[in-house]
Amino acid sequence: MSKALTQVRAGFIPLVDAASMIVAKELGYAEAEGIDLVLAKETSWATIRDRLAVAHLDVAHILAPMPVAANLGLGPLSTPMVVPMALGTGANSVTVSNGLWTALSEFIAAADFDAGNTLEALAKVVEQRRQRKDPPLKLGIVHQFSAHHYQLAYWLAKAGINTIDDVSLVILPPPLLPDALASGSIDGFCAGEPWGTVAAFAGTGVILTTNAHIWRNSPEKVLGVRKEWMETHPDVLPGLIRAIYRAAQWCDATEHQDELARILARSEYVGQQAQLLRPCLSRRLKAPNGQYVHVDGFLNFASKAATFPWRSHALWFYSQIVRWGQAQYSEEGAAIARDTYRPDIYRAAVEPMGVEVPSANSKVEGALSGETLTGATQGKLSLGPDKFFDGSVFDPERLEDYLASFKTTS
């Protein structure tokens, strides 16, 4: 490495959505911005958080709600964080054991991942188990402050299934979930790819539904930056954002899927066979009947403003943090959550590239039923759809009303 490069230490967890960070290094996008990107593969989100806290890491591929939680002082060893960009949207699935699938399939007509039908079936099975006095189903999630947790709980709550008495949540790092499913210690899990596909290929699990069916183009991972590092390296962060942006565009291109699968397959990255990474990258997942079904809006690395740090995403996570009792609502807390995401830094960084950037910092989530052209800095930008499966809408300007709606329905 040339001496002129600035070293940036970045942590990641082996998941497909770490791709843009990995490609930024592998294909030289970081180097072109004068950055020697040193990637550190970690085993758990707690380790990522701890290593950020003690400055072993400068930035990380991190669960979108984690920096919000850190700035709210929730959880141990939290350190002030900034989110100047997202690392794409989507790529999660809800995968269930063969046993649970057998019970569910009685109530499911079409094997098409539909979030409404599968939830109805799940509610019936949960009720059957209650009557039989069977123990509650155990569902795995990757972290308490994760999009998976909030999407799963949001989805289940719509059918009156709560995640305390009706089903119990078990936390495990993503790579351990397929084994936990195979060994019967959990009945299902919600996790990022490739782990749903790994279970489906091994024949030990069935992909039931996906995040795209629960909330289209929903936020997932972000670039988490230690605030102190950003302040001491003001000239480095914009280059890193541009490098990851270019890498994300590369990752989105259909013609790069095979090469991307090969890169991610390497043991220092995801460490799974390329054939297990391709379903996610081609947005075609293995349905319960064994067919591959295209999932619209399942995964975006760059397109549909997938790298833009929407403040409405930060606030939606805050609403769920409050909803599930992880924090008490306060105007101050909402402001902390909102300000964790920094669209201003993002815009300043990508502006020299002449790319389209949303002109708003927030949007009403769930309002776009199809692909929509919206106002952008240079002209128009294609966004959406961003529907929730239950058709409800989150207006970040009306956060308290949104919270009140959960009290009456759940």
Partner 1 sequence: MADQTLHVLIIDDNRLRASIIEDGLSSGGQIRVTVLEETVDLLRRVVEIDPDVIFIDLENPNRDMLEHMFEVTRAVRRPIAMFVDQSDQASIEKAIEAGVSAYIVDGLKKERVRSIMDTAIHRFKAFQRLQRELEDAKSELADRKTIERAKSLLMRTRNLSEPDAYALLRKTAMNQNRRIAEIAESLILAAGLLGEENDK
Interface residues with partner 1 (CB under 8 A) are: 43-47, 50-51, 53-56, 75-77, 142-144, 169-173, 175-176, 326
Q: Kindly give, in sequence order, each residue whose CB lies less than 8 Å from that of residue 93, ignoring residues fewer than 6 positions away.
A: 190, 191, 193, 196, 197, 207, 208, 209, 210, 211, 285
**C-beta of 142: minimal distance to partner 1 in Å?**
7
Tell me whether residue 24 or residue 180 sits nearer to partner 1 (CB atom): 180
**Which is closer to partner 1, CB of 23 or CB of 186?**
186
Q: What sign results for the dihedral spanned by CA atoms 296, 302, 304, 307? A: positive
CB of 173 to partner 1, least distance (A): 5
Contacts of 249 (CB under 8 A, 6+ apart): 301, 302
Give CA–CA dist 387/374, Å, rounded: 16
CB of 70 to partner 1, least distance (A): 13
Distance between CA atoms of residues 250 and 256, nearest Å: 7
Nearer to partner 1, 74 or 364 (CB): 74
Between 228 and 259, name the residue whose CB sits nearer to partner 1: 228
Closer CB to partner 1, residue 186 or residue 345?
Answer: 186
Of 73 and 160, CB closest to partner 1: 73
CB of 198 to partner 1, least distance (A): 16
Q: Contact, 210 vs 217, CB < 8 A?
A: no
Answer yes or no: are the C-beta atoms of 229 and 116 closer than 8 Å: no
State the nearest-atom distance from the C-beta of 12 to partner 1, in Å: 15
d(CA 265, CA 255): 17
Distance CA 27, CA 63 (A): 24
Shortest reach from residue 115's CB to partner 1, in Å: 25
Written as six digits, the tokens of 110 are 């079409």
CA dist 315 and 397 (Å) reads 10
Residue whose CB is less far from partner 1, 175 or 205: 175
Min dist. Cβ of residue 102 to partner 1 (A): 26
CB of 44 to partner 1, least distance (A): 5
Q: Is-contact 385 371, C-beta < 8 A?
A: yes
> Residue 300 and residue 273: Cα distance in Å, rounded?
21
Q: Which is nearer to partner 1, 177 or 230 (CB)?
A: 177
Q: Confirm if 90 and 218 have CB atoms less than 8 A apart.
A: yes
